[in-house]
Amino acid sequence: MIGLPLGAAQAATTYYYYGTTSSTSAYTWTNSTNTVWGNASGVLSGANVYPTTGDTISLAAGHMGAPSDNRSVIVNGNEQILNLDTTGMANPFTFLGSSVNGSLDIVGTVTKNTSSTLTFRNNSTSKLSVSIGTAQVSNGIFTFGSSANNRINSLSITNLNIEGTTTMYVEGTDGSINKIANVDMGGGTALNKLAIFAYGGTLATDTGTVEVNTLKGTNVNSAIGAQSSTVAVGTGILKLNSTASTVSSYAGKLVDSTGAGTGVALKVVKTGLGTQVLSGGLNVYSGGTSIDQGRLLISNGSGSATGTGAVNVTDTGILGGTGRSTGVLTVSSGATIAPGMENSGATGILTVGALDLQLGSHLAIDLNSTLGTGYDQLIVNGTVQLGGNLDISLNFTPTGPTDFTILSNDGTADAILGTFNGWAEGSSKLVSGQMFSITYAGGDGNDIVLSVVPEPSTWMLLGGGLLLLAASRRRSSARA
């Protein structure tokens, strides 16, 4: 629990910022006289009377001087309030760290609905940590950190809802992880952005990370990306730490720099045991995708859901879906690629780039029927290197000889290299009581095809039928 300001107990109220100076002469929010604060009637508060637990701060116009002036307050120590309301705010406003490290805990809601800019940042010699219950952002700029020397020390938001034409910047210290538990990029068509800053200068190791538990939104024009205010090299990391049993879907864009910095790449990392769905086809980030835990499902109809960089499935991670990915795909030991939208139980076709299915990895294939997309299929555009396991789930009873093209390799020039563990070319195996054979030279010569091998009794019945047919024809010929 963040420590509360000392001072006289008081009833919950709304405090207005009554400052009349610019940000260069910011008022200091301390535990002594605080003449910056006033109540709804404009009465300035006295000693030891200021916003605290249960109170709301309002930054409404009419209380902060000329609209062109910047306003700010220095957070000196650890402060906690209920809500921060910017309704009607005409001035840019900044919450600054002081000469000592401090924190601001807004346990309720921050409402950001005007075109002005609201900023939380460190001072050049201090660190400010910010915690917010719910942030409702629908207009203007909402930013944490403002330059390489004034980043936010740490940020924690439980629920972030972004609607309308707005931009949010998260600018943490190098290597820090800023956490936003639940992100909703909204519906509609308005352009909104969440930018993860990485200030690198010439340091390629500089990173900024935003970790989310659920990412959702149906707005295809929303964008999450990396950024720098300079032409820098560095990486902004979006960490999708889905919790177990959760499924969230995001239809917007994942991109590299969303602004001035053109050298900053976005990297996506999937952790946690839950499921994240990416349905947008305009993802052009280049920092790569790592699926370490849980399930990442892609359902885009065009483009690449995983950007242009390499895709690595590691540890216990699973890549699945019915969409398209163009980066080189490496599936490491213990990890799985599973075509189809597993969260709905449906089979499907998944399209990927060059494939390296390493020793100990898995390709999971569901066979539900012989019709159309009644079974899973992996389409590979590029080379295919095999060494992992083939896991088949047979969910129906084939009634006769049937072929399943489980991997369709583009073109005819590149032969498949290697085999599945225990599945040599032309070999057969029993799967759920049904015998299957395999070839790595099926289709147009370089596809993987599973074929149902009829039971011996089936062959005997078929052979007997053929003999009876031949005998009948001979008798007919003799009578003639």
pLDDT at 1 (0 to 100): 33
The predicted-structure confidence for 39-53, as pLDDT tens digits, reads as follows 655 565 555 567 888
> pLDDT value at position 4?
37
Q: Tokens at residue 344, please?
A: 């709905």
Split at pLDDT 50, 70, 90, the class of 149 is low
Q: Which pLDDT does position 201 carry in this prediction?
A: 41
> How confident is the model at residue 465, as a pLDDT?
46
- The span from the CA of 59 to the CA of 84, in Å, is 8
Give the model confidence (pLDDT) of 335-378 as tens digits. 999 999 976 668 999 999 999 999 999 999 999 998 767 999 99
* pLDDT of the residue at 466: 45
Q: Is the predicted pLDDT of residue 147 greater than 80, yes or no? A: no
What was the pLDDT predicted at 36? 66
75 secondary structure, DSSP code? E
- Would the pLDDT of 261 be above 90? no
Comparing 441 with 3, which gets the higher pLDDT?
Answer: 441
Point out the least confidently predicted range of 95-99, 131-135, 147-151, 474-478: 474-478
pTM: predicted TM-score of the whole model, two decimal places = 0.88
Strands of the sheet with 253-255, listed across from one edge: 27-29, 71-75, 93-97, 117-121, 140-144, 166-170, 192-197, 223-227, 253-255
Determine how β-strand 295-298 pairs with β-strand 318-321.
parallel
Token pair listed for 46: 């006295």
pLDDT at 267: 93
**What's the pLDDT score for residue 458?**
47
Give residue 9's pLDDT band: very low, low, confident or very high (50, 70, 90). very low
pLDDT at 211: 94
Contact predicate 296/264, CB 8 Å: no
Determine which of 91-95, 173-177, 206-210 has the lowest per-residue pLDDT on average: 173-177
